[in-house]
Structure 1
Amino acid sequence: MSTCQVYRLGLVEYQKAWNLQNQLADEIARGEHPPTLLLLEHPHVYTFGRRGQAEHLLWEQARLQEQQVDVHWVDRGGDVTYHGPGQLVGYPLLPLGEVQPDPASGNPRIPQVDYIAYLRNLEKTIIKALAQLGVPAGQVPGQTGVWVQPDVASRCVHCPPHLLQAPSKIASIGVKVDAKGVSRHGFALNVMPDMNYWQGIVACGLENQNQISLEYIFNQPPDMERVVHELLTVFSQVFSYELELHEGILLI
């Protein structure tokens, strides 16, 4: 079984984490660094992916400054999302396979089937980890991410009433696979973030998309350490890696 290095980095500014991803992904592509999973939290930030639209940012500049929110346009898939303290962010930097010329553009990329399989494996990892925490979750057809159904939210201790009407997203996923077949960006799981910050965007470009967190669901939510433990256990199984954990090592 191959080894994946796991680095718990604590609270890291988004730009620094993005720079680190790019540095490590390049080293992984050259065979100079093993597969890597970065686990961290970010200060308040909105990130726009390749399909992002400026009108999906609802807060004006003055409000962004008041709430201390940064904004970044990045090269992952998808539209806009939020990251902040209390949200577990994971960036798997994994060699996913051989790249091939894209039939349309001729540019090198991994086959679409491998890209979709990677997204589904990220979803599977989070779904299984949530099950270990006592939260039934799943997929929504046509959408990427992990969702909690209204029947689960109906037992929710702190859920606002609107979460009882439709599925609520508990984890967002947005990735890039570079021209050498190495994944970048990843997932964000709402553990106990300040959910008010979702009001500043049209999340994923979808009107009225509900967001939910473990803190909403439980009277006494699991702490971040428990969430990390369950997620790493499942990640190792789904992606067939032996994990080497490095606590508090900042590579930036």
Structure 2
Amino acid sequence: MSTEDSNSSANRRGAALQVHLLGIVDFDAALALQERLVYELTGRSDQQGALLLCEHPPLITIGREGSRGHIQAEDRELQARRVPVRRLGRGGGTFMHMPGQLAIYPVLPLSRMDVSVMEFRERLEDAVVDVCEELMVPAERQADKPGVFCHHGQVAHTGIAVKRWVTCHGLYLNVNLDLNWLKLVGSNSLATRPTTLAAQRTRVTEMSQVRESVVRHVATRFNYDHTNLYTSHPMLKRTYQTVAMRA
């Protein structure tokens, strides 16, 4: 084995996926934490990565493929519902977020993992397909359409960004939420209606069960043999105190 191959193998063995379960956290706080982790990972030489799992209070985000025209509500209605709108430098379209939707944010050093941006998206979506199938929900990813799709609609939306070859943002999996809230955002260019795991299974689906499955399948898809699990992060600065009502 060459010195380069030996070093790469050692990096894989020594690296772990640092998993942080954040609960319900405001979007800006989660974004700031991702940016901090991106900065930290760019200074490392191994393949250690982070995975943030959380839920957000109600808001709408607009990615590079989205627009205000995808929002099916006037500004007055959004203000009355206290739903802010944010434009972001991520891929993907216009997404509705709220408690009951699991935000999956992998912060991974692609260049040191020898993974392309497209392959990252494919592996992330495949991990969520694995989660769905483990819950007895047939699902698939599509090469030309970011996200994860079930028979009755789109169950997950993908919107990623890469900074200095480290990933941020990620994927949003609809677990157990009110579909009426999702109707605030149109179907974008995919003409696919949204759905949830709970709707597909016709019963309430526990978020803790989904989180545990996501951790296992993301670690497997990105070849992490070790995961370290934390219930928060010391650099997370929460500003949102009121827990939004679940579906």
Q: Which residue of structure 1 aligns with residue 242 of structure 2?
A: none
- Cα distance in 2, alignment partners of residues 250 and 57 from structure 1: 35
Within-5 A mapping of 1:161-200: 163=152, 168-178=153-163, 180-200=164-184
Q: Which residue of structure 1 aligns with residue 217 of structure 2?
A: 234
Within-5 A mapping of 1:198-209: 198-203=182-187, 205-206=188-189, 208-209=191-192
Correspondence for 1:148 among 144, 147, 150: 150
Percent identical among aligned pairs is 30
Q: SS of 1:66's equivalent?
A: helix
Give the count of matched residue pairs.
220
Q: Which residue of structure 1 aligns with residue 104 of structure 2?
A: 90
Asked whether the equivalents of residues 76 and 175 of structure 1 are also in contact (C-alpha less than 8 Å), the reply is yes
Q: When the two structures are superposed, what TM-score results if normalisation uses the length of structure 1?
A: 0.82
1:227 shift after superposition: 0.7
1:94 shift after superposition: 0.3
The answer on 1:61 being equivalent to 2:45 is no
Between 18-27 and 52-61, report the one with greater CA deviation. 52-61
Q: SS of 1:144's equivalent?
A: strand
Q: SS of 2:95's equivalent?
A: strand
RMSD of equivalent CA atoms: 1.9
Q: Which residue of structure 1 aligns with residue 201 of structure 2?
A: 218
Correspondence for 1:35 among 42, 49, 62: 49
Cα gap change, 1:32/1:23 in structure 2, threshold over 3 Å: closer, same or farther?
A: farther
**Structure 1 alignment gaps of length 5 or more:** 99-109, 150-162
Q: SS of 2:183's equivalent?
A: helix
- Cα distance in 2, alignment partners of residues 122 and 148 from structure 1: 16
Name the amino acid aligned to 2:73.
W
Q: Which residue of structure 2 aligns with residue 154 of structure 1?
A: none
Asked whether the equivalents of residues 47 and 80 of structure 1 are also in contact (C-alpha less than 8 Å), the reply is yes
Asked whether the equivalents of residues 43 and 83 of structure 1 are also in contact (C-alpha less than 8 Å), the reply is yes
Asked whether the equivalents of residues 92 and 146 of structure 2 are also in contact (C-alpha less than 8 Å), the reply is no
Asked whether the equivalents of residues 86 and 192 of structure 1 are also in contact (C-alpha less than 8 Å), the reply is yes
Q: SS of 2:217's equivalent?
A: helix
Q: Which residue of structure 2 aligns with residue 130 of structure 1?
A: 132
Within-5 A mapping of 1:92-111: 92-97=106-111
Superposed CA offset, 1:166-204 (max 9, x none):
xx10011110111x200010011110122112222224x
Asked whether the equivalents of residues 55 and 100 of structure 2 are also in contact (C-alpha less than 8 Å), the reply is yes
Asked whether the equivalents of residues 48 and 73 of structure 1 are also in contact (C-alpha less than 8 Å), the reply is yes
Cα gap change, 1:32/1:251 in structure 2, threshold over 3 Å: closer, same or farther?
A: farther
- Cα distance in 2, alignment partners of residues 61 and 45 from structure 1: 13
Name the amino acid aligned to 2:56.
H
Name the amino acid aligned to 1:177.
V
Q: When the two structures are superposed, what TM-score results if normalisation uses the length of structure 2?
A: 0.83
Q: Which residue of structure 2 aligns with residue 107 of structure 1?
A: none
Asked whether the equivalents of residues 9 and 250 of structure 1 are also in contact (C-alpha less than 8 Å), the reply is no
1:239 shift after superposition: 0.6
1:222 shift after superposition: 2.8
- Cα distance in 2, alignment partners of residues 41 and 233 from structure 1: 19
**Structure 2 alignment gaps of length 5 or more:** 1-12, 237-247
Superposed CA offset, 1:132-172 (max 9, x none):
111110023420110002xxxxxxxxxxxxx4xxxx10011
- Cα distance in 1, alignment partners of residues 219 and 192 from structure 2: 31
1:129 shift after superposition: 1.2
Q: Which residue of structure 1 aligns with residue 31 of structure 2?
A: 18
- Cα distance in 2, alignment partners of residues 51 and 129 from structure 1: 26
1:240 shift after superposition: 1.1
